[in-house]
Homo-oligomer: A and B are copies of this chain.
C-alpha cells in the first residue's frame, strides 16, 4: 500500500496543506497514520475523501452538510433522502442568490451608467446609495 505525504495529498487534491490539517481537526478527515518521524501519511481512501470534500465545498455546501453527506457515503445502505434534501436545499439557496444578485446587477448598472464622471455632488452612484427610494426595488 503506497502512502503519500500531506504535501502530495495537497497537490493531488488541490486542497492546501493547512486546510487538510484543518479538516482533520474538525473531524471531516480521519486522523491518518504517522511516519516514524511523526509525519502524516495518507492512503488512497483519504485522497478520495478529500476530493469529495473539495468538490462539495466548490458547490458551496457548508461543512456541516458535508459532514452529513460523508456519513451517508460511509453507509451506503441508508436511504438517500437526506442527501437529496441537502442538495435540494442548496439548489434553492443558489437560485435565491442568483435572483438577488441579478436584481443587484441591474441596480449597479444603473448607478454606473448614470455616473456623469463629474464631481461627487452630481454623482449618481453616491446619490442612489444615499437614497434608497431611487432603487428599482426588485431586491432588499
Q: Which residues of A are at the interface with B, using a C-beta cutoff of 8 A?
A: 48, 51-52, 55-56, 58-60, 69, 72-73, 75-81, 83-84, 86-88, 90-91, 94-95, 97-98, 101-102, 104-105, 107-109, 111-112, 115-123, 125-126, 128-130, 132, 135, 139-140
Provide the main secondary structure of the chain A interface: helix
A86: chain B residues within 8 A (beta carbon): 125
- Number of copies of this protein chain within its complex: 2
Minimal beta-carbon separation of A92 from chain B (angstroms): 9
Partner of A84, one of B60, B79, B123: B123
In the bound assembly, the distance between CA atoms of A140 and B126 in angstroms comes to: 35
- Contact present for A120 and B84 (CB under 8 Å): no
